[in-house]
């Protein structure tokens, strides 16, 4: 069974679908091959008791033009994440405090320490060009150290350090040891700055999509119709002067002029290429591991915390959830809390039973929001590291040395093979917006290369 098409897109996440959508708009023939039996990649949702609950990426914010434009095109309304009320912070000691804004109150010394570190981080981030983070006179030095080293060197108070480490877990779903300082700076620079990525109001968590972010993928797939093929994990990409043949696990193959691989780099590195990929591209994919996150969604009969003047937003230095957010939709009757287990905690708890994890999560919510939190209508979770076709979230992490050694290989096409995905975005790397942007950019790059010489091939 052989198909022929101008472009094959590998992966029906937001990047792959946005790429195919843009190609279709240009009247270029495209097939999207998706490994799973669903579209959306790192964005997914489930219907619980009539409530649409998000199991993956869910937030958008100011400056994320592409996700907003796409939502408007697809008729998906955007609403503001609920933040009215007071936020909570749980300290390591178990003591709970209240705060407003982005940063919880610590001792004056720790607050000053954290604020100075934020300012230094922002200043450093402004020296990084997100198009070419491997350039710049300080790139080697910034890429030579872990974010942990920087935190230890920059922050002087234990409480300030703990808060910065918590921010690391929330932004990258990893421990500060796992990240190159340069990558952290690049990421923040590619978004709107440190406050913008941390904040809800006015920041990257400000907006949600009515019906769930997954609806973006579902609607793009609907428009693409039978151009999207599910259950088709791609195992091999063979190219020569005549074109490229993309082969699925089943043995089914598709001939095309160009291919856009829109899956995380570590998964892209598992596809067999003929001829083999250049050494630098291969070496890059050897290094880009995914973050570690388990997302927990807890549905209650009502958002009872709101009545108590609480926003539903909380940070915890004790854990296991690093943060909680009110994820209810305006029309929803239920109360919905989203919680995240991140980095080392996610790894540790992945080894426990679902029952035990649920118990630990609900214990924390009871500590934060009171006894009513013990009785949810539903509790669902998604361990993204266990998902064979994602293998971690939110995004790929650059360890020290990787950007400066292999940065140019991230986006450079290999002959007829092009790259998309949230990791190839030069703005909003790792975000839904970055994914959509990368797909559209890849479509624009591929379109002029499509020959139009469409001879159906059988074989």
User: Which residues of the chain form contacts with a copy of itself (CB under 8 A)?
Assistant: 140, 143-146, 148-149, 174-178, 235, 249, 266, 269-270, 272, 276, 279-280, 282-283, 286-290, 292, 344, 347, 350-351, 383, 385-386, 388, 391-392, 399-402, 404-406
Residue closer to a copy of itself, measured from CB, 332 or 401: 401
Q: How far is the CB of 274 from a copy of itself (least distance, A)?
A: 9
Residues forming a β-bridge with 315 = 89, 323
**End-to-end alpha carbon distance in the chain:** 7
Taking residue 307's Cβ as centre, other Cβ atoms within 10 Å add up to 11
Q: Are 8 and 254 in contact (CB under 8 A)?
A: yes
Residue closer to a copy of itself, measured from CB, 234 or 338: 234
Q: How far is the CB of 373 from a copy of itself (least distance, A)?
A: 28
Residue closer to a copy of itself, measured from CB, 174 or 336: 174
Q: How far is the CB of 322 from a copy of itself (least distance, A)?
A: 16
Q: Are 436 and 217 in contact (CB under 8 A)?
A: no
Q: Are 330 and 289 in contact (CB under 8 A)?
A: no
Q: How far is the CB of 238 from a copy of itself (least distance, A)?
A: 11
d(CA 376, CA 392): 27
Q: How far is the CB of 301 from a copy of itself (least distance, A)?
A: 33
DSSP state of 13: B
Residue closer to a copy of itself, measured from CB, 154 or 327: 154
Q: How far is the CB of 145 from a copy of itself (least distance, A)?
A: 5
Residue closer to a copy of itself, measured from CB, 122 or 140: 140
Which among 218, 206, 184, 167 is positioned nearest to 46, based on CA atoms? 218
Q: How far is the CB of 294 from a copy of itself (least distance, A)?
A: 10
Q: How far is the CB of 266 from a copy of itself (least distance, A)?
A: 5
Residue closer to a copy of itself, measured from CB, 46 or 283: 283
d(CA 28, CA 120): 47
Task: Name residues whose C-beta falls within 8 Å of residue 151's C-beta, 6 or more positions apart in sequence.
Answer: 117, 161, 164, 165, 168, 176
> Is 35 annotated in some ligand binding site?
yes
> Angle at the Cα of 371 (from 366 to 372), degrees rounded to 5?
105
| Count of H-run helices and E-run strands, the chain | 16, 22
Q: At what angle do helices 158-172 and 147-154 cross, to 10 degrees?
A: 150
Helical residues (DSSP H) of 225-315, grouped into ranges: 265-268, 279-287, 304-307
Which among 342, 337, 339 is positioned nearest to 310, based on CA atoms? 337
> Is 423 annotated in some ligand binding site?
yes
Residue closer to a copy of itself, measured from CB, 40 or 392: 392
Which among 207, 345, 246, 168 is positioned nearest to 2, based on CA atoms? 246
Q: Which residues are annotated as a binding site?
A: 34-35, 423
Q: Which residues are annotated as a binding site for FAD?
A: 34-35, 423
């Amino acid at each position: 069974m052989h198909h022929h098409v101008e472009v094959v897109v590998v992966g029906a996440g937001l990047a792959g679908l946005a790429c195919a959508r843009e190609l279709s708009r240009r009247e270029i023939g495209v097939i999207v091959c998706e490994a799973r039996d669903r579209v959306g990649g790192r964005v997914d949702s489930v219907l619980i008791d009539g409530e649409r609950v998000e199991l993956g990426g869910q937030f958008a914010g100011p400056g994320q033009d592409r996700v907003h434009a796409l939502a408007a095109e697809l008729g998906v309304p955007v609403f503001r994440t609920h933040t009215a009320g007071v936020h909570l912070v749980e300290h390591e000691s178990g003591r709970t405090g209240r705060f407003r804004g982005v940063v919880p109150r610590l001792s004056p010394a720790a607050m000053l320490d954290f604020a100075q570190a934020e300012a230094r981080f922002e200043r450093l981030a402004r020296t990084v060009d997100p198009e070419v983070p491997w350039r710049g006179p300080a790139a080697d030095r910034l890429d030579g150290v872990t974010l942990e080293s920087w935190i230890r060197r920059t922050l002087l108070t234990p409480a300030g350090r703990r808060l910065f480490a918590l921010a690391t877990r929330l932004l990258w779903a990893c421990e500060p040891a796992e990240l190159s300082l340069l990558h952290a700076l690049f990421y923040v620079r590619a978004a709107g700055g440190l406050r913008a990525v941390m904040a809800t109001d006015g920041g990257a968590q400000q907006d949600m999509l009515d019906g769930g972010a997954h609806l973006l993928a579902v609607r793009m797939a609907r428009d693409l119709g039978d151009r999207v093929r599910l259950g088709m994990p791609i195992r091999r990409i063979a190219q020569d002067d005549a074109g490229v043949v993309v082969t699925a696990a089943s043995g089914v193959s598709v001939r095309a002029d160009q291919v856009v691989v829109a899956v995380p780099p570590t998964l892209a590195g598992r596809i067999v290429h003929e001829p083999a990929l250049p050494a630098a591209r291969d070496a890059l994919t050897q290094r880009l591991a995914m973050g570690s996150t388990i997302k927990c969604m807890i549905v209650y009969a009502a958002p009872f915390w709101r009545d108590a003047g609480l926003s539903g937003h909380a940070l915890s230095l004790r854990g296991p959830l690093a943060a909680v957010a009110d994820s209810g939709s305006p029309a929803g009757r239920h109360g919905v809390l989203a919680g995240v287990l991140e980095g080392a905690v996610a790894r540790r708890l992945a080894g426990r039973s679902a029952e035990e994890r649920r118990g630990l999560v609900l214990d924390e919510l009871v500590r934060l929001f009171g006894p009513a939190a013990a009785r949810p209508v539903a509790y669902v979770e998604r361990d993204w590291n266990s998902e064979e076709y994602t293998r971690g979230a939110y995004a790929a992490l650059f360890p020290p040395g990787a950007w400066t050694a292999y940065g140019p290989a991230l986006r450079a096409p290999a002959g007829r093979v092009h790259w998309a995905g949230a990791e190839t975005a030069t703005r909003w790397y790792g975000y839904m917006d970055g994914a959509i942007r990368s797909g559209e950019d890849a479509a624009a790059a591929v379109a002029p290369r499509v020959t139009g010489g469409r001879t159906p091939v059988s074989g």
